[in-house]
Amino acid sequence: MRAKKYIQQILENLESKHSDKPEFLQALTEFFPTLEPYIEEHPEIEDYNILELIAEPERLIQFRVPWEDDEGKWHVNLGWRIQFNSALGPYKGGIRFNPNVNENILRFLGFEQTFKNALTSLPLGGGKGGSDFNPNGKSEREVMRFTQSFMSELQKYIGPDRDVPAGDMGVGHREIGYMYGQYKRLNRPEPGVLTGKPTNQWGSFGRTEATGYGLVYFAENALWNHNERLSKKRVVVSGTGNVSTYTVEKATQLGAKVIAVSDSQGYVYHEEGVQAETLKKLSKRGRGALKYYTELYPEAEYFKDKSVWEVQMKYDIAFPCATQNEIDREMALNLAENCKIKALFEGANMPSTDAAIEVYKEKNILYGLGKAANAGGVAVSALEMAQNSQREQWSIEEVDERLQVIMKDIYTLCSETAKKYVGDQDNLQAGANIAGFARVAEAMIQQGLV
């Protein structure tokens, strides 16, 4: 009761303080109420007012990013780095280039990253960054000039033991390569300052695949616990980007059939099964290339301007891997009542609204929330940091083996924590939130509330 009142009071304070930041508030309202049984058992959380402290980033850096287009016209975008929490290690988290990036989006991402990173048990704090730059339709040279300008400012605030960015939406090998080059030009060669680097530049083998593969390993562990396997399951994956492509690849390798995928312009339904190789081939044709899928497979169907979560076909498992809030209550009801899915594992960050999560619970859908299920990417980033500091490069087999162990351990931690605090090993949402929070909060208290 005491804990519930404390949580409510803090949420009210934060709602009035941040009323202009809906996604950030959503991340807080998804998280704090699940901590009640832990806070009930740990009065020091309220004594030190940890909730209010943990909700605010340690530092929020905003800067301007001037860049010149191919016609010689100058533009200015905004850039940010949110250094959210360093209790467990250097700030760590991706950089997102997308026109909808703003302080609100980056606060939600940085907040979630802090607890996700804690679940990996690796020495990582939480951070996030990005820009409202839209890479769509930009030439290679424009992306290079923009990215160099972005790094010219960002480099003042990062370092291998201080803050280590990586990729996220709109930022892949190409952009990380340009960022590393610019960092090196302005400082010195320090490969550990960024992760997700190309493998010929001290990148880790397996980082590109890690979030998608890790998501599938997490799912496979959760299914094993119910005497189920991915093999022969019908699966739907949203997105066709990095996380989606490697989710499709690993799920297919484990015997599942991916019957639909999407991008921001529509979705494809292909009863014979979507292959990752096809998505890789299409990605070379630029963004929105899913519309060309039926040129390769005339028996498939393409639905323009439709969400893949509107599919009414029966299938077993959903993997949302595109973006935040892609599944609302109505779509969740469709997943439960028409598609009759048994499980949903989040590759994207916060792809489900709070109302959608309520539906998963009401309808007994096994729910693996993003903080736990998509932690494989950042975990392999931590392995990349370790390789960089040892001046080593491990084989893909070694990295993949470690990733499998990490995802199994994350699943076990979530499910055991859930059993301990809410008496339900399948409440992976409570398990992940409590386990991640406990690690960060304990370290903050040990360090004198910094």
Ligand X SMILES: O=C(O)CCC(=O)C(=O)O
Ligand Y SMILES: NC(=O)C1=CN([C@@H]2O[C@H](COP(=O)(O)OP(=O)(O)OC[C@H]3O[C@@H](n4cnc5c(N)ncnc54)[C@H](O)[C@@H]3O)[C@@H](O)[C@H]2O)C=CC1
- Angstrom CA distances, 214 to 92, 97, 203, 222, 243, stand at 18, 23, 18, 12, 10
Establish whether 408 is a catalytic residue.
Answer: no
* Extended strands (E) in 233-342: 234-237, 257-263, 266-269, 301-304, 317-319
Closer to ligand Y by Cβ: residue 380 or 430: 380
Choose from ligand Y, ligand X, none: what does 192 bind? Cβ within 5-8 Å by kind.
Answer: none
| Least CB distance to ligand X at residue 349 (A) | 5
Between residues 211 and 417, which has the closer beta carbon with respect to ligand Y? 211
92 carries a ligand binding annotation? yes
Query: Residue 232 has which token pair?
Result: 């022969």
Residue 200 counted as an annotated binding residue: no
Three-class DSSP category at 257: strand
Task: Please give the sequence-ordered ranges of beta strands (E in DSSP) within 264-300, or none if there are none.
Answer: 266-269
Residue 152 is labelled as binding a ligand: no
Which residues between 237 and 296 bind ligand X (CB under 6 A)? none
Binding window for ligand X (CB under 6 A); candidates: 227-235, 375-383, 416-424, 436-444: 375-383
Which of 129, 138, 213, 109 has the alpha carbon at shortest distance from 176? 129
Instruction: Estimate the crossing angle of helix 396-422 against helix 103-119, to 10 degrees.
Output: 90
- Pairing assessment for the beta strands 234-237 and 257-263 based on DSSP bridges: parallel
Verify binding: residue 381, ligand X, rule CB under 6 A. yes
Q: Which is nearer to ligand Y, 11 or 135 (CB)?
A: 135
| Nearer CB in complex with ligand Y: 42/262 | 262
Tell me if 147 is assigned to a ligand binding site: no
Task: Identify which of residues 106 and 223 has a Cβ nearer to ligand Y in the complex.
Answer: 106
Which of 97-105, 234-242, 373-381, 426-434 is the region at the interface with ligand X (rule: CB under 6 A)? 373-381
Neighbour count for residue 60 (Cβ, 10 Å): 15
* Identified catalytic residue from 21, 128, 233, 250: 128
Tokens standing for residue 361: 């619970």
417 is an annotated ligand-binding site residue: no
Rg over alpha carbons for the chain, rounded to the nearest Å, is 21
Task: Give the shortest CB-428-to-ligand X separation in angstroms.
Answer: 17
Which positions from 16 to 45 touch ligand X by CB under 6 A, shown as an x/- string? Answer: ------------------------------
- Whether 331 and 363 have beta carbons less than 8 Å apart is answered as no
Q: Is 242 annotated as a binding residue?
A: yes
* Residue 29 CB burial class (10 angstroms; 0-12, 13-18, ≥19): middle
Binding site residues, ligand X, CB under 6 A:
92-94, 113, 116, 166, 168, 195, 349, 377-378, 381
Q: Mind telling me the catalytic residues?
A: 128
Binding positions for substrate are: 92, 113, 116, 167, 381
Instruction: Cite the annotated binding site for NAD(+) by residue number.
Output: 211, 242
